[in-house]
Amino acid sequence: MSIVAPSILSADFGNLERELHTLRESGADYVHFDVMDGLFVPNISFGLPVLERVRQLTDLVLDVHLMIDRPLRYVERFCKAGADIVTVHVEADTPENVRAALEAVRNCGKVPAVCLKPATEAAAALPYLDLCGLVLVMTVEPGFGGQSFMADMMPKVTQLRRAITERKPGCRLEVDGGVNLETAPVCTAAGADVLVAGSAYFHAADRAAFVSSLHAL
Ligand code: DX5
Ligand code: ZN
């Protein structure tokens, strides 16, 4: 059974409490929370004060995807604000600092995770696998919701699934970007077990049916 993580980047921010309530009622597992700083990606979303409020409004797993430059500066604060999983991009700092960020997340008792942009090879995640509870493969260029799924990322997902099976069983493998009813089965067939869906989830006529379809994969 796949884990379903709606990205609240596509939620109605004027009704966030209601959206989070619906999210739980529809059977979703994680709340995917996209943080963008306008530097690492060409967009700005939301950050710590919003996460603190979301933490008060839901008991679902908070899956925080940091699309920010030099995340080491902020990971502890995201943990304290209520994140359960904190994902940093391998491209966002030096290898030493990426590792230090993951260690800081682990020292807070939270789940560390690394993310790869489309141009980054699977091998870039391997030095961190020992520390990670989740690896995230971007299936669009990070920065915006509503983009088209990049099917050519599937070999990377399969490579990482193999590495995880060999070296870190239990580590989750997440995909993010353009995931919908048509592309989700492609992702799970390649080896993904956590599916982020932003626009497809929030625009679904029946959100519970959408989640059930993905759970069934
Ligand atoms: C993109 C974000 C995604 C985004 C996915 O940079 O990381 O989480 O919200 O949105 P959809 O599912 O619409 O591609
Ligand atoms: Zn994301």
Confidence of residue 1 (pLDDT cuts 50, 70, 90): very high
The pLDDT value recorded for residue 200 is 98
Quick: pLDDT tens for 69-117: 999 999 999 999 999 999 999 999 999 999 999 999 999 999 999 999 9
Atom of ligand 1 nearest to the CA of 7: 9
Point out the catalytic residue in the list 29, 34, 63, 93.
Answer: 34
The pLDDT value recorded for residue 158 is 98
Quick: pLDDT tens for 18-57: 999 999 999 999 999 999 999 999 999 999 999 999 999 9
Choose the residue to mutate in 175, 196, 211, 214 for probing ligand 1, maximizing ligand atoms within 8 Å of C-beta. Answer: 196
Atom of ligand 1 nearest to the CA of 149: 14
Quick: pLDDT tens for 129-171: 999 999 999 999 999 999 999 999 999 999 999 999 999 999 9
Q: Assess contact for 125 and 114: CB atoms under 8 A.
A: yes
Which residues are CB-contacts of 73 (< 8 A; sequence separation ≥ 6)?
A: none
Residue list, CB under 5 A from ion ligand 2: 34, 65, 176
Output the furthest CA–CA distance in the chain (Å, rounded).
45
CA of 89 to the centre of ligand 2 (A): 11
Q: Is the CB of 82 under 6 A from ligand 1?
A: no
Strand partners, 86: 64, 112
**Separation between Cα atoms, residue 100 and residue 93, nearest integer Å:** 10
